[in-house]
Structure 1
């Protein structure tokens, strides 16, 4: 079946709903090692879903099954309600895959690379010209489109790699660690490009071991370790697994003990510890509570010199779930 063949609607799975991607109980073994163990998740239209975990957690094996590059030992992947597999060329047409390894030709210009891969996707001449210009604008390479890609920086090559995956306007874009090895400026440009995709209604599956990327980009996050999804939800839902408390540190001069007693009376303050010049508070929703806390401490005679808020993050969640740091 050719890539531009319209899939038979009868192959749709009725209970897939409106999700662009449904992953059900995927398992993949390599010899005696279970690389992916009963992984399930869903991604809706316009949603960015992150698989967050350390190297070797099973992220790349999972997306290889999702993209139909390798076959699952058990479980199923549905794209647009149709089952994916290595032989399902019609379903693969709805996916754009951006692998970790660059898939560009160094002796072609950026524009020539895009045109070449667009022709592989069977885009007509007018549609191809339009999409190449649109993609170059999206990935921020319009002014370098005529340069050979062997002259590009690592970050520019990564952005072009993403552009190639976008050309045929897939329903689902899969990005496997797209910022690995790039400089901070290029990394920021890549993240901005990914942020724009959900606005266009594209579903995005984003794998990373960078906590800050998952927090910035993803509507929902699956924390994966040792081949299993340990927890799933929005950033705030996951943080609540740790107990969801924040910490505020107040430095100042005055009667610390009197200020501590006053702060213990506030309903949002769960615990107060004090030393000679510092108060350590455990609170709920520190950004909302901090103004009242500062006012109360000041009225109790404390002259503040510094206020610091610490909130739990996905690193805290990973440590809570697995007993180890995200980058161990």
Structure 2
């Protein structure tokens, strides 16, 4: 394990159930390191093991097998000391709706032994940071979803954490609110914050994460920077062509040799190539005329779907 890493995991396993015949392995022997000042992401479909991993890192779920160290400490024996140096933004807001925004932050500050004066000053500073000064004396209940998420982020920072865990930080928010949160999280990172993020939004992972892992069925199937994963697993651009629903596969033989890889979907064909316009020009040269054609930049979502599949997991 790296001595400089804030989080180090080796052969980490989380299993539910004592009977080997029926036990469910949620996390199946993963290795992870998160460096100080890094924004690190966990991506994966439902049931991939992201939440189970985050709960072990958050010291609220014991490790079944393997080694886990946070700040060089063992969660099994030093959970309280680790949590004191950590901030958590849960997927669902756990604010007290009947209290004001300021009261929510001050009470939380008292859990970390801040005096009333210190908690009030820190709360005011954080409300300024998340741009909610004007809501300090408002109750939480009538706030918008985006405002509540910003209050949750402010509350998670009350103890000046060295590590910030964010579980689906922008789920359910409109695009404007998401971008405000991205701005605040990016500013925190510029100030030296180490962040561990789970998200279902691929654009969010591209915006916020320096490095990430893609998990599937409890294992890590890919690791790297967003742009590095795109370069490794797909081509730089995608040409999307449509020939009509259910008619795309029959055109596949006509596209032999076009692009680097072709993926057949019921409603369209995806042609991955370093130059999407060149692939489209080749279609025109062959006098292949689709109903529609679109060239776009390959994204982390293309990588995610290639590695984890397009089948819905209930």
Shift of 1:27: 0.7
Query: Please, which of 49, 58, 69 is the counterpart of residue 40 of structure 2?
Result: 49
Structure 1 unaligned residues grouped into runs of 5+: 1-14, 250-268, 272-279, 297-306
Distance 1:46 1:143, change over 3 A: same
Q: Is the 8 A contact 1:209 1:326 kept in 2?
A: no
After superposition, the C-alpha distances for 1:68-111 in whole angstroms (9 at most, x for unaligned) are 10101012221221222375211221111111122211111101
Equivalent positions of 1:151-166 (< 5 A) are 151-166=142-157
Query: Who is 1:284 aligned against?
Result: 274
The unaligned stretches of length 5 or more in structure 2 are 18-22, 241-257, 261-269, 282-292
Q: How does 1:220-239 map to 2 (within 5 A)?
A: 220-239=211-230
Greater mean deviation of Cα atoms: 80-89 or 201-210 = 80-89
Q: Which has the larger radius of gyration?
A: 1
- Which of 293, 313, 318 is residue 299 of structure 2 equivalent to? 313
Q: How many residues align?
A: 274
Classify 1:156/1:221 alpha carbon distance in 2 versus 1 (closer, same or farther; 3 Å): same
Q: Say whether the 8 Å CA contact 1:84–1:91 is kept in structure 2.
A: yes
Question: Which of 186, 198, 220 does residue 195 from structure 1 map onto?
Answer: 186
**Structure 1 residue ranges (4+ consecutive) displaced by more than 4 angstroms after TM superposition:** 280-283, 325-328
Q: CA–CA distance in 1 between the matches of 2:181 and 2:154?
A: 10
Residue 309 (structure 1) shift: 3.8
Q: Kindly tell me: are residues 85 and 164 of structure 1, through their superposed partners in 2, closer, same or farther at Cα, counting changes over 3 Å?
A: farther
CA RMSD of aligned residues (A): 2.9
**Contact 1:82 / 1:91 at 8 angstroms: preserved in 2?**
yes
1:215 equivalent in alignment to 2:201: no
Which residue does 2:309 correspond to in 1? 323
Q: Is the CA contact 2:39–2:197 (under 8 Å) kept in the aligned structure 1?
A: yes
* Among 72, 82, 85, the residue aligned to 1:81: 72
Task: State the 1:127 CA deviation.
Answer: 3.5
**TM-score, normalisation: structure 2:** 0.78
What's the offset of the Cα at 1:113? 0.6
Question: SS at 1:159's partner residue?
Answer: helix
How far off its partner does 1:283 sit? 5.1
SS at match of 2:76: coil
Which residue in 2 is equivalent to 1:22?
A: 8
Following superposition of structure 1 onto structure 2, how do residues 1-328 of structure 1 map, counting pairs within 5 Å? 15-31=1-17, 32-85=23-76, 88-247=79-238, 284=274, 309-324=295-310
Q: Distance in 2 between matches of 1:123 and 1:48?
A: 28
